[in-house]
Amino acid sequence: MGAHKQLIRTSCLAAVLIACTANTAFAHELEVQRGVASFYSDRFQGATTASGERFDQQALTAAHPSLPFGTKVLVTRPDTGQKVEVLINDRGPFVQGRVIDLSKRAASKLGMIRRGVAPVMITLVD
């Protein structure tokens, strides 16, 4: 194998190892995240999310500032014990102190529609 091909092969392997290490480190970083959840306004129905999907208030989806798109998380209200599993497909929330923005259906499953916000714990789903 030529030196150029060997260099490319070594570089690709290094990139894969770095990516795997980063994902593993990230998974350990978010064992449990605590904060306040909010939910999307109806005016965002049909808008394009940061992942390129159309936003659907009836889907069990959410926005998170840094989790990779396609990540599944369990959102739990510690004050009521209510839980919902959602798929991260957008970025946000952009309000200080809030850790996740939920679709209306997900917020409804957490019983937070009337309040608008609720304390939550976020954990990764395997």
What are the boundaries of each domain within the chain?
1-30, 32-124
Backbone angles phi, psi at 41, to 5 degrees: -70, 150
DSSP state of 54: B
Beta pairing class for 33-39 and 72-76: unpaired
Please list the alpha-helical segments (H only) found in 1-126. 3-29, 104-109
Q: What is the full per-residue pLDDT of the chain (126 aa) written as tens digits?
A: 454 444 344 333 333 333 433 444 344 455 899 999 999 999 999 999 999 999 999 999 999 999 999 999 999 999 999 999 999 999 999 999 899 999 999 999 999 999 999 999 999 998
DSSP state of 70: T
**0.85 exceeded by pTM:** no
From residue 14, alpha-carbon distances to 24, 51, 54, 76, 114 in Å are: 15, 27, 35, 37, 50
CATH superfamily, region 32-124: RlpA-like domain (2.40.40.10)
